[in-house]
Homo-oligomer: A and B are copies of this chain.
Amino acid sequence: MPYVNIRVAGTLTKEQKAKIAAGVTDVISKEANKPPEAILIFIDEVAKENIAKKGILLDPPE
């Protein structure tokens, strides 16, 4: 019953999400020997002002 959470900065198109879901499911299914139908993926599209690296927001205040 693998659960996968993918958090990305900004937005993705539905086509991108579909390809990511298919590709990640394929990798985990093959490498971890899990049936694809048991794999559940949640994609979180997070605004850049809500993500920080090195203590600085990706979209900082001016």
Contact = CB atoms under 8 A, between A and B. Distances in A.
B1 A4 contact: no
Interface residues of A, number: 53
Contacts of A50: 17, 42-45
A27 B25 CA distance: 10
Contact of A55 (B36, B43, B45): B36
A25 B3 CA distance: 16
Given A1-B9, A37-B53, 8 more contacts: A3-B40, A3-B42, A4-B6, A12-B32, A15-B61, A16-B31, A19-B31, A40-B40
Interface of A: 1-9, 12, 14-32, 34, 36-37, 39-46, 49-61
